């Protein structure tokens, strides 16, 4: 069954390729603009202009490795009634 699915996929992809090739050969202008737009977007993604780049910042002191002070936790006493608590044993 797996072999049959892959054969169907090859046939479908082949028909798609033939359709795209026939469309390009009959009217190449319809594909030039999308290819150019995609190319410009890809080029700007790979090589962004200098005004878009983030300046290189030295690493912050909070991310540096070394001695860290442990956080101090403290308990805040609440006003909870003992009647609101669920029973200790079910």
Range in 11-15, 17-21, 31-35 with the lowest mean pLDDT: 31-35
Residue whose pair of structure tokens reads 């002191």 in the numeric block: 61
Indicate the pTM of the whole model: 0.38
3-state secondary structure the chain: CHHHHHHHHHHHHHHHHHHHHHHHHHCCHHHHHHHHHHHHHHHHHHCCCHHHCCCCCCCCHHHCCCCCCCCCCCCCCCCCCHHHCCCCCC
Nearest 5°: CA angle at 43, between 42 and 47?
A: 120
Higher-pLDDT residue of 37 and 76 is: 37
Average pLDDT score over residue span 5-20: 93
Average pLDDT, the chain: 80
Residue 19 confidence class, pLDDT cut points 50, 70, 90: very high
pLDDT at 64 over 70: no
Q: Report the C-alpha dihedral over residues 80, 82, 86, 89, rounded to 10 degrees.
A: 140
Domain ranges of the chain: 5-52
């Amino acid at each position: 069954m797996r072999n049959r699915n892959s054969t169907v996929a090859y046939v479908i992809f082949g028909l798609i390729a033939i359709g795209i090739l026939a469309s390009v050969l009959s009217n190449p202008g319809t594909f030039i603009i999308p290819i150019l737009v995609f190319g410009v977007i890809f080029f700007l993604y790979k090589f962004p202009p200098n005004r878009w780049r983030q300046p290189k910042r030295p690493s912050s002191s909070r991310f540096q490795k070394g001695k860290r002070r442990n956080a101090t936790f403290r308990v805040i006493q609440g006003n909870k009634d003992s009647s609101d608590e669920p029973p200790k044993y079910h």
